[in-house]
Structure 1
């Protein structure tokens, strides 16, 4: 016998994050042994026998699980459905198409984004990272290197020297610099000259594998980026 399913643990679908909700439903239905019925691979028996009665009971349970994980606005969309397969088929027809459109729009916004002259470098970085997050939220993969390349390559003309310096650096060193930038936020650098000096300094640090005398190794610096939020590093005194 399948274990009891805690319906309170299921997130209600409100029209957003359909792929994640669909995965949650697939897991719940598999746990109850109902996935094939919802998928439509196990059909209702035409004979009025115990097999048909069992199918009707299981399909009703699947309908209950699905509707319990929908808010009222979504239930109105499937009120005319007479089986669990019809419910999921209806929702797929509405939201899977929207999901693909959302992916296309998110990709387009990420690739077409350019820094405005009125934006600070900090705002520029935040904008790129927000666009990348939206891609990740819909299941798309965006590497740290892609984010960093987007940040550098879309800087305005006044950062031309900075961009050329970055593009001249080897990929391995770019990865090291990316780790250093993760700790010493480029967003704190407001002047063009300061940005150019900073990237040269970061490149030099990447070559030596240390942030400063007695500082972290290159590997440690890269791991800081992976662990998430960091504290700004104070500038060294001359």
Structure 2
């Protein structure tokens, strides 16, 4: 079942600064719906298997696994929907044009995972530079 933009969610949308928490929450939802492998790229779209048929000197090529391909594509769209609709509109543009859920996930990870690490390092550095004001009483 495809995610809709107005569906109630149990966690916040990605807003540009909460990537680690959002990523964990979305991955839990994807796991629950058995879509994790598609998003991580370990379950890829099946390749077409064809069979050549000749009837009355007319050759036809028939795809023998089209139902499996269609099922994978439907699951991929479900995963894309979960990812896309759980991102604030401002940040949805960074994944528009993606053709698969794996491509969406890769784009987001490359763009925002390092930003989150950099922000954490910056905050840790500020914390270590913090000095207590001797004029403030600690009760």
Structure 2 unaligned blocks of 5 or more:
49-62
Q: Does 1:44 align with 2:59?
A: no
Q: Does 1:13 align with 2:14?
A: yes
Structure 2 residue matching 1:43: 3-state secondary structure: coil
How much is the aligned-residue C-alpha RMSD, in angstroms? 2.2
Q: Is the 8 A contact 1:29 1:35 kept in 2?
A: yes
Give the helix-richer structure, 1 or 2: 1
- Calculate the TM-score normalised by the size of structure 1: 0.47
Q: Does 1:71 align with 2:88?
A: yes
Displacement of 1:67 in angstroms is: 0.9
For residues 145-168 of structure 1, the C-alpha deviation after alignment (integer angstroms, 9 at most, x for no partner) is xxxxxxxxxxxxxxxxxxxxxxxx
Q: Which of the numbers 87, 112, 131 marks the counterpart of 2:129?
A: 112
Structure 2 residue aligned with 1:31: 32
Kindly report which structure 2 residues correspond to 1:1-238, keeping only aligned pairs within 5 A, or say none: 7-9=7-9, 10-47=11-48, 48=63, 49-116=66-133, 120-122=135-137, 186=138, 188=139
Displacement of 1:115 in angstroms is: 2.6
Q: Is the 8 A contact 1:60 1:83 kept in 2?
A: yes
Higher-RCO chain (CA-CA 8 Å, sequence separation at least 6): 2
Q: Which runs of 4+ in 1 moved over 4 A?
A: none
How far apart are the structure 2 equivalents of 1:106 and 1:41? Answer: 35
Task: Label 1:89 to 1:63 Cα distance change in 2 as closer, same or farther (>3 A).
Answer: same
Structure 1 unaligned blocks of 5 or more:
123-185, 189-238
Give the strand-richer structure, 1 or 2: 2
Structure index of larger Rg: 1
- Calculate the TM-score normalised by the size of structure 2: 0.78
